[in-house]
Amino acid sequence: MISFRNFALRRGQRLLLSNVDLALHAGWRVGVIGRNGTGKSSLFAAIRGEVEADAGDIDVPNKVRIASVAQETPALDDSALDFVLSGDAEVHAAIQAEANAFANEDWEAVAEAHQRLEALNGYDAGARAGKLLHGLGFSADTHDRAVKAFSGGWRVRLNLARALMTPSDLLLLDEPTNHLDLDAVLWLEQWLLKYPGTLLLISHDREFLDGLSTHTLHLHDGRAKLYTGDYTAFERQRAEHLRQQQIAFEKEQAEREHLQRFIDRFKAKASKAKQAQSRVKRLEKLAGTEAVRVERSLRIDLPVPDKLPHALLRLGDADCGYALADGGQARILEDVGFILEAGDRVALLGPNGAGKSTLVKSLVGELPLLAGERSGHPDLRIGYFAQHTVESLHEGRSPIDHLGDIAPGVATQALRDFLGKWNFPGNRAFEAVDGFSGGERARLALALIAWRKPNVLLLDEPTNHLDLDMREALAEALADFDGAIVLVSHDRHLIGLVCDTFWRVADGHAQPFDGDLDEYAAWLRNRDASEDGRAAGKRKAETAPPPPAPATKPRKANPVKLAQAEARVAELERKLKQIDAALADPGNYSDGSGRAAELTRDRETLAAQLAEAEAAWLSLYDAA
């Protein structure tokens, strides 16, 4: 489907990719990985035709429909549902045309719109858009809210839902999980598994990649190499490839040394000149296998807490929320009882907006309780990471400046040594944060927290913008941490390595969840299936008559009545089909006789009769 031939790409003076020769086939789900700055997003821009190759070619067939997530969402008055629905431009246009035709009583245009919607299977488009919104965490009461009323993170979700709504053969997703909670990540993974087209996915979430990828495209050192399998399979294959490369290099170096010794020894002897010359040619023909360059292995160390009491932090009968400007209260969580002891590793699960961050802020003490009490040990020292922690870094100041602010009097070399462990080596420690990426800023914020030697870490989405290597290093550091941890994250790999206790925060309560992450994912799927079943049952109940009262004795269905009921259903279905055909005929709208309105009323009556006949037939069938 997509082929690269000697493809090269630059950004400014920097060569991102060169000599790329590979093909990505239809139906593949490709995880695109690599450290920040290796060209992943630029590669997507090239596929979309937004940037041109600096050398070679990229071939994307013209007929391929491409969908991707917009980077920005304008402040629109459109409702969330309508914004997502507009991702399917043809269906959205047909729905708008139908609405305008009805408003103008243009019955010929109504018929045309009706035909168009039938051809596009557009009558269920609203339901599909609503299901996307629900899966990505939008409650039903927000579907009619204007797009401009949502915060930035929720607008990113709207863009994602709109991209999923767009009919496509190729779907490009760049870090789609960054603004999602774990519930939405699990839902998105299941949706993408059913996507019939080709998926290219940039992600730093290895569990997400392992759950989806059939192939892995690794960008490294200006090259792109394609591997078969998910991220874990890539790690195994790459390790073996590097091992074989090192063996080949060492073998070649030994042969070079042997040839050079012969040449140096015999090049001056006439009797050996011919042999020496042949070895010179052999030496020139050696492949020149590169030694394996050891990639910088990121490792971070969280300092051991100075003091680690057993009972650290407690909330008792706590109501958590916000005091309003008018004197009222916005109560988010009620009657929370939470005790944190040394060695506890708690992951908070649940949808965004349910109160996870509110609970963390209440534990920190940043948010006063509305009721109940908060108590902490005198030696309690909290390290708190949240999004505003990253945003609070001062523009124009360097990592060494920020660390010096909280470590007055400490020698500069000691500060440099500490920052070097957090991958701010050499002059990087003196560069202003203005030019830092989101991942670099998050890493600096975590380093500032670690300097204080906390015995409790309260971490709210610490991995946003961190690449895979840094996430792995953070997971290992947290696993070795002696203090207590409360973690909010959508990164299942991090949660799985760090946490052994789970609390679900939802519906105004925070309660322990008895199970691991796999059991939580299964519980979510079963719950969603049950809710879909209840919703379907409710819709059927709204259109069908009340069921007949149960008989006092089981009785065999009368086969004559069963046959009559089947015939009744078939007859009503036939009539309904005839009316649908008539409604699609423009002639019934142009003569001004009101025939179209009459047909519409007849269709509604027949639909109700069919629902009743089906219910009666089903009751007889069940008794048969």
Cβ atoms of 209 and 40 within 8 Å: the answer is no
pLDDT for 436: 82
Burial of 56 (0-12, 13-18, 19+ CB in 10 A): middle
What pLDDT is recorded for position 521?
86
Beta carbons within 10 angstroms of residue 154's beta carbon? 21
Average pLDDT over residues 280-295: 57
Phi/psi for 589 (5° steps) reads: -110, -15
When pLDDT is cut at 50, 70 and 90, the band that residue 556 belongs to is very low
Over the chain, what is the mean pLDDT?
81
Tens digits of residue pLDDT in 226-275: 999 998 888 888 878 777 767 777 777 777 777 777 677 766 665 555 66
For residue range 508-534, list pLDDT tens digits in order.
Answer: 999 999 888 888 888 888 876 666 555
In 422-520, the DSSP E strands lie at 456-460, 484-488, 501-506, 509-512
pLDDT band of 465, cuts 50, 70, 90: confident
Among residues 117, 220, 124, the alpha carbon closest in space to that of 165 is found at 124
Structure letter (DSSP) for residue 54: S
* pLDDT for position 292: 44
User: Considering Cα of 76, then 78, then 80, then 85, what sign does the dihedral take?
Assistant: negative
- pLDDT-derived band at 294 (thresholds 50, 70, 90) equals very low
In this model, does residue 609 exceed pLDDT 60? yes
pLDDT at 51: 86
487: tokens are: 């973690």
Per residue in 11-25, pLDDT (tens digit) is 777 788 888 999 999
Q: What are 465's two structure tokens? A: 């913008």
Check residue 112 and give its pLDDT: 75
Q: How does residue 322 score in pLDDT terms, banded at 50, 70 and 90?
A: confident
* Whole-angstrom distance, CA of residue 399 vs CA of residue 406: 11
Where is average pLDDT lowest: 102-111, 278-287, 446-455? 278-287
Buried b (16+ CB within 10 A) or exposed e, 443-462: bbbbbbbbbeebbbbbbbbb
168-177, 230-239, 332-341: which range is least confident on average? 230-239
